[in-house]
Amino acid sequence: MTTTTRPHPPTPAAPTDIPLLAPEASRRLFERYDIGPRDGDGRLAVAAMSGGVDSAVTALLLRERGYRVIGINMRLYTPPEGEEYPNPCCAPEALEDARMAARRIGVPFYPINLEREFEETVINYFVDEYARGRTPNPCLECNREVKFSALIDRARRLGADKLATGHYARVTCDDAGIYHLREAVDASKDQSYVLYAMSQEQLGFMLFPLGNLLKSEVREIAELYGLDVAHKPDSQETCFVGRGAYAEFVTARRPGLNSPGDIVLTDGAVVGRHDGLIGFTVGQRRGIGVAYSEPLYVLSLDTDTNRLIVGTRDELSFTSLTASRAALTSDKWPDAPFEAEARVRYQGERYAATVQPLEDEMMRITFAEQPRAVAPGQAVVLYRGDEVLGGGTIESGKTALPLRLTVS
């Protein structure tokens, strides 16, 4: 579903005392930061500008590479009347930061409203997943359903040749014309995990100019150009929820999820009471509130019986999992099992694994080394070296020890 939005008039060009870098200066800058050649050749690129330093530098680098750049800011969430914005990244100040960055760089700027798409595909998904006792990844879903669907559609309608974002990731193309999604140079900022669902068509349309840069270099470039957002702090929380407030956000939309219930061991023994499943996630240790002979961890949330299932650290280990909505960045799903490394949590450890394709966009992943805290609703992402092969949504896991209760 799309929303018709009347474009605002183009923002005036930047003041004349802030010119484009001279070609020789640009070359020196690119060589210093491993940014790459000036390859725009007047082609049109849309840059998603959130109001942060990463997206501002993205637009700046595109301009310096010779692209004709249009900056677009996505309005995704407005809190109910009388409530404050839970995160600065969605507040009106972020829009103004993006607008001023575009003006400083000297590119046209348009805000667009994607709140309806965001509500339908991200917020509703977020709430529904928690209501099912699962742990959603809203950033991944926003990339899948909004940024690389609705926003790509907008960019194409503007006649753009490319869409660029400030994600820390890289795309390469081999001699056969196949695009490959790769990790960013800056491992601490790498966002390839939340991009695994991208198709060949999407990868070919995207630019990630920051993939070869360290975050410190991005800030330095912004400072060299006098961008006010050069030292603006990064947003760390879910944009429409804020720090630690997801339980309140979900229960306001799904009353009853904070009903008390039993805490049980894997043999069914009741060892305590909880104040609502919404306050727990798989793998959690702190806050269970049960005295036991050894530390207990959350193994699963049984929403049908409102029971919190807990167990020992050994019971938290998984030998395999099944995943839905499976996708490979090559767009080609093999018939035979293949070897890969699997990551079951953002920036988590990788585990050697065998991937078995199944029907209906499903796959089974069997681990050579047992990961802990496999949380239904989270993503499992497959790697080979620095390349992201694809991934899926975790549905269920098989534990290392035989359990009397189903972990799902």
The yes-or-no answer on residue 239 being catalytic is yes
> What pLDDT, in 10s, does the model give residues 84-129?
777 767 778 899 999 999 999 999 999 999 999 999 999 999 999 9
Provide the pLDDT for residue 86: 72
> What pLDDT, in 10s, does the model give residues 186-199?
999 999 999 999 99
Provide the pLDDT for residue 283: 87
* Side chain identity, residue 302: D
Q: Which of 89, 90, 139, 239 is catalytic?
A: 239
* Side chain identity, residue 283: G
Calpha distance 349→8 (Å, rounded) = 45
User: Count of CB atoms within 10 A of residue 399's CB?
Assistant: 21
> What pLDDT, in 10s, does the model give residues 46-61?
999 999 999 999 999 9
CATH code: domain 317-399 is 2.40.30.10
The yes-or-no answer on residue 142 being catalytic is yes
Please tell us whether the domain made up of 23-166+209-224 is placed in CATH 3.40.50.620: yes
Among 78-92, 165-179, 258-272, the minimum mean pLDDT is found in: 78-92
Q: Which of 89, 90, 139, 142 is catalytic?
A: 142
Provide the pLDDT for residue 2: 45
- pTM of the entire predicted model: 0.86
Provide the pLDDT for residue 69: 95
> What pLDDT, in 10s, does the model give residues 226-236?
899 999 988 76
> What pLDDT, in 10s, does the model give residues 299-358?
989 988 999 999 988 888 888 999 999 999 999 988 899 999 999 988 889 999 999 999
Given this structure, which CATH class describes domain 258-314?
Answer: mainly beta
The burial of 358, by beta-carbon neighbours within 10 Å (0-12 exposed, 13-18 middle, 19 or more buried), is given as middle
Q: Which two tokens stand for residue 134?
A: 């699962």
390: left (phi over 0), alpha (psi -120 to 50) or beta: left
Spans of all domains in the chain: 23-166+209-224, 258-314, 317-399
